[in-house]
Amino acid sequence: MTPELREQEERLQFDRFDHDDAWALGTLLVRLARERGHAVTIDIRFGDHQLFHYALPGTSADNDDWIDRKIRVVRRFGHSSYLVGQTYRDRGTTFEEKSHLDPALYAAHGGCFPIILRGTGPIGTVTVSGLPQLDDHRLVVEALGLFLDSKDSDKGSVS
């Protein structure tokens, strides 16, 4: 699974990212979650600046805590929180056991993905919390794919 996770990070990169993109990506995630009846919290940040945050019914402040912990992992390692956790699992151990980081502050659980600017690197995060970790990760990856595909198709349109 690790090669697939690395491929996602190579493929799901932005040419540019701004406040309007955060709004559009965030509302896409909200729409997908509502259509599927998911109780999730969604967070999008540019560096430390929170550009989008929405909590669907059925979530709690615990989801915000999970988001913060997942974001710290992405910022520290530069990769999705699920990839970081999977890297430890591939070694036959756990992030909690071998990272020597406080689990109250860091969670290498799926759901936080770096916003990667092509040619620059990670500039922010998009995070979902509320589902099992692989489902959180898959929801973010799906939304990023749909969003980036729609941006690519906009490039070809004539005004």
Q: What is the DSSP letter of 37?
A: T
Q: Chain centroid to CA 94: how far?
A: 20
124-152 pLDDT per residue, tens: 999 999 999 999 999 999 999 999 999 87
The CATH T-level fold of domain 2-152 is Beta-Lactamase (3.30.450)
CA 156, CA 87: separation in Å to the nearest integer? Answer: 38
- Write out pLDDT tens, residues 82-129: 999 999 999 999 999 999 999 999 999 999 999 999 999 999 999 999
Pairing of strands 41-46, 49-55: antiparallel
Provide the whole-model pTM. Answer: 0.92
